């Protein structure tokens, strides 16, 4: 039983570390990606509106 207890304790410690590590990396990287996504979507929305107004004129 002692070996199982030790194993789970180490695995639990590892899980907390990995969880926190992923959080820090994703929060900083994600902030940059949001900017890129919004720019791309705004450009696409402009393009679609341009197409619609072009079709309306024709």
Partner 1 sequence: MLCAVNGRDSLHFIWIDWVTVIAFLALTTGVAFLTRRLISDYDSFLLAGRSLKLFLGMATMGATELGLVTLMYFSEQGYRSGFSAFIIGVIALLGFLFIGKTGFIIKGLRDLRVRTIAEFFGMRYGRSTQILAAIITFAAGLMNMGLFLVLGAKFLLYMVGLPPEMLPYLMAGLLCLVLAYTVVGGMVSVVLTDYIQFLILFTSVVLTTYFSITHVGYDTVISVVEHEYGIGGFDPFLSEDLGWLFIVWLIFGIPFTGMWPPALSRALSTVDSETSRKLYGFIGLSFLGRALMPMMWGICALAYFAGDSVIPIPMIDGAPDTAAAMPAYLAQVLPAGMRGLVVAAALAALMSTFDSYLLCWSSILINDIILPLRPDLKDRQKIKLTRFAVVGCGLFVLLWGYLYSPPQTFFRFIAITGTMYSASVLLTTAMGLYWKKANTPGTLASLMIAGLLPLTTIFLDGSGILPPEYEWMVEDKVVGITTFVASFLFIIIGSLLTQKSHPPRALSRPMHTGGS
What does the binding site for partner 1 look like in residue numbers (CB under 8 A)? 1, 4-5, 8, 11-12, 14-16, 18-23, 25-34, 36-38, 40-42, 44-45, 47-49
Nearer to partner 1, 19 or 57 (CB): 19
Identify the helix (H) or strand (E) that includes residue 39. helix 2-57
Q: Considering the complex, what minimum distance in angstroms separates the CB of residue 54 from partner 1?
A: 15
Q: Considering the complex, what minimum distance in angstroms separates the CB of residue 29 from partner 1?
A: 3
b/e map 33-53, b = 16+ CB within 10 Å: eeeeeeeeeeeeeeeeeeeee
């Amino acid at each position: 039983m002692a070996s199982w207890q030790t194993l789970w304790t180490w695995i639990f410690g590892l899980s907390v570390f990995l969880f926190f590590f992923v959080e820090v990396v994703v929060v900083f990287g994600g902030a940059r990606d949001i900017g890129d996504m919004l720019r791309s979507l705004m450009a696409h929305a402009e393009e679609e509106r341009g197409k619609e107004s072009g079709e309306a004129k024709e």
